[in-house]
Amino acid sequence: MESTRDVEAVLANKTYDPNDEHKLQNPADIPSATTTDPSNPVDIPLNLPNTSTTSDKPDPTNAPNQARNQAPPQPKQFTLSMFETHSLLGTSAHSTVHAALDLTTTPPHPYALKTLPKAHLTRLQTENPTEYQQVQRQLDMPSTFSHRNILRSYGRFEDATNIYVVLELTQKGDLYKRLQLQRQDEKNGGGGGEGMGPGFPEKEAARYIAGVAAALRYLHDDARHVMLRDLKPEHVRLGLDGEVKISGFRWAVRAPPQRRRTVCGTLDYVAPEMLKSTDAGGDGDGEYGDAVDLWALGVLVYEFLVGEPPFRDWPEVTHRRIEGLDMRVPGFVGGEAGDLIRKLLVLDPEKRLSIDEVLKHPWITKYTGSEGNRSTLQDWELVEVEDRALEGKD
């Protein structure tokens, strides 16, 4: 389910309550599911067999602390008969997602299996070609990526009635829901660590941001030229071992010249140059580049620490506040974190930090070490495991 503050809805002058932004759906509305966006599985604990594929002896071709949800190393052809389906994980207007076990592996390997009815897609292609293209983008683009911090799509197959997409299974939820739990814990007097406010502790937030930044560096590089254009907490998930996974490619686009005009995404995270583009009726130069993702990254840093986006308000007010850079970093946000926010939330996209500068920023390296400047975060996960082990000692 898309956010009620998607930019196209704002431009259509639709009315809604600003408190509805990111509102969690009542799980009772969807039996056996706690998410309604099948591009972002999985939120609920699953009673599946122990499917760990990590052996006691590390694989020298992979990083230490291999992810438990690493797919079988060789590409394979999937068929429906290979899978045993389990819990319903999510539904949308176009698809459903179930947890599934690949019974051809020992032990059975867990996946998220997305099902899209062909008849529905055929109608959608005729009745709403733009939305059909977005669905196709969600299906096609992730399968071309191979990065630890991007939700994997391992393949797809079809039968007479459906198209099936085999996705990486994540089981620790998205960061929006985790942030809401953090805020609730703070209200109940149980949160706060490190002297922070209602957001994540700095150490946790910095590791999340480092993972997102690593994914953006991969997407933005010269081999891909991909703009995400809808980076928000709902599209940042945690894998089975706690590693960051980027999802949500509805608005992602390959742009070799890295210039675009379409106004899209979710308003709280939209960069000012996008709001000023000619497609938005603005007075800008009509184009924007991948620095829109860097602006959204700055919004995430703020939100992860403060608990809500910096420009959040009624849509027309949010629009003005973004264009006027009307925001204040609270005093409880540490100096290094505040510095990163201010260097990303810059009106001139040419003056924002580059993604490499983000990964080298003192606030990132303080908590992730030199690993923050790598394309994956496998090594800092070892640090996190060691930290947890130390916490269990006197």
Annotated binding-site residues for ATP read 114
Provide the Cα torsion 125, 128, 129, 131; round to 10°.
-100
Instruction: Report d(CA 238, CA 351) in Å as an integer.
Output: 31
27 Cβ partners below 8 Å, 6+ apart?
33, 34
Q: Give the CB-side neighbour count of residue 393, counting CA atoms within 13 A.
A: 5
Tell me whether residue 230 is one of the annotated catalytic residues.
yes
**Given 6, 37, 230, 268, the catalytic residue:** 230
Token pair recorded at residue 170:
């994540």
Q: Which of 234, 246, 260 is nearest to 2 (CA)?
A: 234
Pairing mode of beta strands 83-91, 162-167 = unpaired
Pairing type for strands 153-158 and 162-167 reads antiparallel
Q: From the annotation, which residues make up the binding site?
A: 114
Report whether 149 contacts 246 (CB < 8 A): yes
Q: Where are the alpha helices (DSSP H) in the chain?
A: 7-11, 118-127, 129-140, 175-187, 202-220, 272-275, 291-306, 315-323, 335-344, 355-359, 362-368, 378-391
Cα 214 from chain centroid (whole Å): 12
Catalytic positions: 230
